[in-house]
Structure 1
């Protein structure tokens, strides 16, 4: 068995090593604004790691590939527009985590709302359209339902008997 890839970026390595089941990492293209003045501002509570050094460097695919080799991820979340707007990127994500582990959300507002629930927002230099991808940390266990990952009230819903069945197919 080949050893895992070693991350050289000190903060990114620390974050990946501390991920727990269900925590998420957002890999963003260069156009994803993070300031309060952005079209869709990112919550100031979300840590940002800016890896972009030049247009296209690194690409979202570069970062996804390395993170998947270095960490333990059970799923990816992409926009439902990715299949049409960036088919090569969508195929790449599917090959990394398996098609059955790729979840799709509407770009606005659901995908952008999920940004504020991630553990870290990683900015790249990528200018690809609809390249943004969220990786979901995991380990060998039943997958976490997408409805739980996207709902800030899932635990309360579970307590109230309203949580989705984790064995039911996703809508």
Structure 2
């Protein structure tokens, strides 16, 4: 049995398989997941697990090079945006329109669906390298 880090086997596997510039999405419970993209559904009920809790654990396991949010988070969910930006600890952060965010998500290695039930609580995390 795994003792530390992410215990969810599919999520742990996807992070381990990422190469440089591959990306995953951490999503609220409402983001549509395109056909063909691996869905890692962690949602248990609205709010559980929370987006920020999931992001914190993923960031502890994944080498992140940069992140992208939907533009709309700034107006509709600034508390989540500020907290997530702080957790990204100075990594480059981009913003795109939500429609473009959904298009980009089609190329994700996986979309991690949380129970987060607040608007635009989604982030694309691009994999970096550890050297």
TM-score, scaled relative to structure 1: 0.70
Q: Structure 2: where are the runs of 5+ without partners?
A: none
What 5-or-longer segments of structure 1 have no aligned partner? 35-41, 142-171
Instruction: Report the structure, 1 or 2, having the larger strand content.
Output: 2
1:130-158 CA-to-partner distances (Å, cap 9, x unmatched) read 111111110268xxxxxxxxxxxxxxxxx
For 1:104-149, what per-residue CA distance to the aligned partner results, in whole angstroms no more than 9, with x for missing partners?
Answer: 00112x11100101100111111011111111110268xxxxxxxx
Is contact 2:63-2:130 (8 Å) kept? no
Instruction: Tell me the TM-score normalized by structure 2.
Output: 0.90
Which of the residues 74, 86, 90 maps onto 1:95? 86
Task: Give the alignment of 1:134-149 within 5 angstroms.
Answer: 134-139=124-129
Query: Which residue is 2:30 aligned to?
Result: 31
How far did residue 32 of structure 1 move? 1.7
Relative contact order (C-alpha < 8 Å, sep 6+): which is higher?
2
Aligned 1:118-133 pairs, distance under 5 A: 118-133=108-123
Deviations, residues 82-109 of structure 1 (Å, cap 9, x unaligned)? 111111111122112245511100112x
User: 2:48 aligned with 1:57, yes or no?
Assistant: yes
Partner of 1:111: 101
The alignment of Structure 1 onto Structure 2 pairs a total of residues equal to 128
Aligned-residue RMSD, C-alpha: 1.5
